[in-house]
């Protein structure tokens, strides 16, 4: 079994012996930001895009990351080099750091940064090949009027509750709607449907994270000559889609075969097959 490792304070140690304070506001209040990054053949995929996103998330929370982009890049390279395997998953986390009780981040003077490297087995091989059964969760995604969905923060409770709904229903994943009943995203992935040859995905303003895999899929669609549009979707659009799939760093691209018991017309469908083949190539060659 490969051991997870952790970069913290400039050292790389076994993850099980790395720790942060019980007074860390990341732990006490979810006050912090993170990125999930995959590496293939010891190369982090779209690393600079992930670093730009965490920087924007932190800036939106007025959280100053104590390392600059070059230092973060070096820490990530060192972590990948120290990991047992050439392929894996990194979790880059920046918390507000420890401080006195009370929400005010002014009490916290030193943000904490750590990077975990581990294997990822989020999605089973059978789900990847036969497609995921998904449900639409009763738990709603927080809207942009509450917490902007572009901030990748440590607050995932809605997503956790939706994930629990999926498990309780014997499904593989849950889709969250926003307060208006529009499709937002999966619990840790973005969503696409295919309708009459057109690729459609909800806009971030409907509650989707500005996913990096989502952006890659849009680029690949353009390369294939498949038109792609951001548009508001309802559950009806999912139920009646020709194809549906989920995208995320951890998930990569996963076909969906069933939404709330409605069977997709095609799963895995032809557009999925083409995009997935290009995606698998892209992560190894970019
Ligand atoms: C809520 C949420 N949506 C979407 C995604 C997919 O984003 P990305 O492709 O950047 O990993 C993630 C990934 O962590 C996520 O947590």
| Res. 253: pLDDT tops 80 | yes
| Res. 121: pLDDT tops 80 | no
Confidence at residue 72, expressed as pLDDT on a 0 to 100 scale: 98
CA distance 201 to 181: 15
Atom 14 of ligand 1, nearest CA residue: 188
- Atom of ligand 1 at shortest distance to CA of 186? 3
Confidence at residue 219, expressed as pLDDT on a 0 to 100 scale: 98
- Atom of ligand 1 at shortest distance to CA of 149? 1
| Res. 148: pLDDT tops 90 | yes
Is 95 in contact with 220 (CB distance < 8 Å)?
no
Is 20 in contact with 112 (CB distance < 8 Å)?
yes
| Res. 122: pLDDT tops 80 | no
Positive or negative torsion for Cα 136, 93, 32, 8: positive
Confidence at residue 146, expressed as pLDDT on a 0 to 100 scale: 85
Mean pLDDT value across the chain: 96
* Domains of the chain with bracketed CATH: 5-118 (3.30.470.10), 125-285 (3.20.10.10)
Long-range contacts of range 164-169, CB-CB < 8 Å, 24 or more positions apart? Answer: 165/135, 165/137, 165/138, 165/139, 166/134, 166/135, 166/137, 169/135
Q: Are strands 11-14 and 198-201 parallel, antiparallel or unpaired?
A: unpaired
Give the pLDDT band (50/70/90) at residue 114: very high
Confidence at residue 218, expressed as pLDDT on a 0 to 100 scale: 98
Please state the pTM of the whole predicted model. 0.96
Atom 7 of ligand 1, nearest CA residue: 211
| Res. 276: pLDDT tops 80 | yes
Which of 154, 155, 174, 211 maximizes ligand 1 atoms within 8 Å of its Cβ, making it the mutation to test the pocket? 211
Give the pLDDT band (50/70/90) at residue 143: confident
Contacts of 73 (CB under 8 A, 6+ apart): 47, 48, 51
| Res. 46: pLDDT tops 90 | yes
Confidence at residue 161, expressed as pLDDT on a 0 to 100 scale: 98
CA distance 230 to 244: 14
Which of 34, 35, 36 maximizes ligand 1 atoms within 8 Å of its Cβ, making it the mutation to test the pocket? 36
Rounded to the nearest whole angstrom, what is the distance from the C-alpha of residue 236 to the centroid of ligand 1? Answer: 23
**Buried b vs exposed e over 115-147: b needs ≥16 C-beta within 10 Å?**
bbbbebebbeeebbeebbbbbbbebbbbbeeee
| Res. 237: pLDDT tops 80 | yes
């Amino acid at each position: 079994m490969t051991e997870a490792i952790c970069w913290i304070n400039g050292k790389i140690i076994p993850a099980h012996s790395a720790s942060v304070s019980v007074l860390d506001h990341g732990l006490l209040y979810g006050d912090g930001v993170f990125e999930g990054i995959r590496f293939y053949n010891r190369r982090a995929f779209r690393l600079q895009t992930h670093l730009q996103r965490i920087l924007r998330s932190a800036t939106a929370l007025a959280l100053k990351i104590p390392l600059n982009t070059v230092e973060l890049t070096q820490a990530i390279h060192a972590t990948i080099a120290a990991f047992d395997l050439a392929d894996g998953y990194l979790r880059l986390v920046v918390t507000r750091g420890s401080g006195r009780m009370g929400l005010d981040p002014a009490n916290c003077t030193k943000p904490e940064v750590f990077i975990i490297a581990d294997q990822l087995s989020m999605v089973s091989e059978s789900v990847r090949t036969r497609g995921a059964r998904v449900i639409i969760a009763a738990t709603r995604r927080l809207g942009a009027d509450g917490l902007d969905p572009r901030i990748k923060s440590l607050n995932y409770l809605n997503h956790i509750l939706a994930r629990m709904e999926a498990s309780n229903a014997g499904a593989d994943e849950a889709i969250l709607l926003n307060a208006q009943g529009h499709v937002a995203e999966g619990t840790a992935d973005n969503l696409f449907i295919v309708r009459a040859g057109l690729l459609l995905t909800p806009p971030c303003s409907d509650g989707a994270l500005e996913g990096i895999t989502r952006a890659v899929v849009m680029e690949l669609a353009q390369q294939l000559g498949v038109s792609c549009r951001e548009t508001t979707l309802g559950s009806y659009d999912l139920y009646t889609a020709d194809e549906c799939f989920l995208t995320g760093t951890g998930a990569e691209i996963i076909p969906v075969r069933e939404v709330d018991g409605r069977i997709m017309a095609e799963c895995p469908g032809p557009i999925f097959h083409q995009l997935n083949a290009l995606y698998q190539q892209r992560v190894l060659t970019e």
